[in-house]
């Protein structure tokens, strides 16, 4: 998850009259529900303990990884030299369900991907796009975060 956001822990537990307890209690909205919302400020391992009305117990845990933000490179050089030939956005995990669009100076959509790794080679319909500034819009499905900015093709 991205720092400042929250995520729901989707747990499952089977049994009669279960009592739940999550730990640690920091940055969690309710430690006694099966699917709480958490908003940790750093990587945190949450442990769910469940106790049935018959005295049976069990526990499991989940690690919530927190990244400070998403770095979007501002330029790339698709010239075939093997260095920076594609525009990639590191740490933009496919779990975010990102919708990424890139537009040329005329507002024409020249690159789009949704829910996959971003890897634009500077081509549109098989034609290398000219050197220049392009506008990108990134919308994450799992959060309300929207990123807008520019990327330069340098040839």
Vertex 101: Cα angle to 139 and 125 (nearest 5): 155
* Domain co-membership, 79 together with 59: no
DSSP designation for 141: T
Q: How confident is the model at residue 3 (pLDDT cuts 50, 70, 90)?
A: confident
In this predicted model, what pLDDT tens digit does every residue of 12-44 receive, in sequence order? 998 888 999 999 999 999 999 999 999 999 999
Q: How confident is the model at residue 103 (pLDDT cuts 50, 70, 90)?
A: very high
* Domain co-membership, 97 together with 29: no
Please give the backbone phi and psi of residue 105, each rounded to the nearest 5 degrees, phi first. Answer: -65, -15
pLDDT at site 44 = 97
pLDDT at site 37 = 97
Residue 91 has pLDDT above 80, yes or no: no
pLDDT at site 90 = 85
- Return the SS3 of 94: helix
Q: How is the chain split among helix, strand and coil, in percent rounded to 5?
A: 0, 40, 55
| Percent of all residues in the chain with a pLDDT value above 70, rounded to a whole number | 100
* Domain co-membership, 98 together with 142: yes
Contacts of residue 64, Cβ cutoff 8 Å, sequence gap at least 6: 1, 7, 9, 38, 40, 43, 44, 45, 46
How much is the mean pLDDT over the chain? Answer: 93
**Domain boundaries, position 51:** 7-64
* Domain co-membership, 43 together with 83: no
pLDDT at site 96 = 81
pLDDT at site 10 = 93
pLDDT at site 122 = 97
Number of domains in the chain: 2
């Amino acid at each position: 998850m991205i720092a400042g956001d929250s995520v729901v822990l989707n747990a499952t537990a089977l049994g009669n009259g279960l009592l739940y307890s999550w730990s640690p209690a920091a940055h969690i909205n309710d430690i006694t529900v099966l699917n709480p919302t958490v908003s940790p400020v750093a990587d945190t391992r949450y442990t769910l303990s469940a106790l049935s009305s018959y005295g049976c117990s069990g526990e499991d845990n989940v690690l919530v990884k927190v990244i400070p933000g998403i770095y979007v490179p501002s330029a790339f050089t698709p010239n075939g030299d093997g260095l920076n030939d594609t525009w990639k956005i590191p740490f933009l995990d496919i779990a975010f369900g990102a919708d990424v669009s890139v537009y040329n100076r005329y507002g024409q959509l020249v690159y789009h991907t949704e829910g996959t790794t971003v890897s634009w080679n500077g081509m549109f319909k098989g034609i290398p796009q000219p050197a220049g500034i392009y506008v990108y819009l990134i919308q994450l499905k799992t959060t309300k975060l929207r990123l807008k900015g520019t990327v330069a093709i340098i040839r």
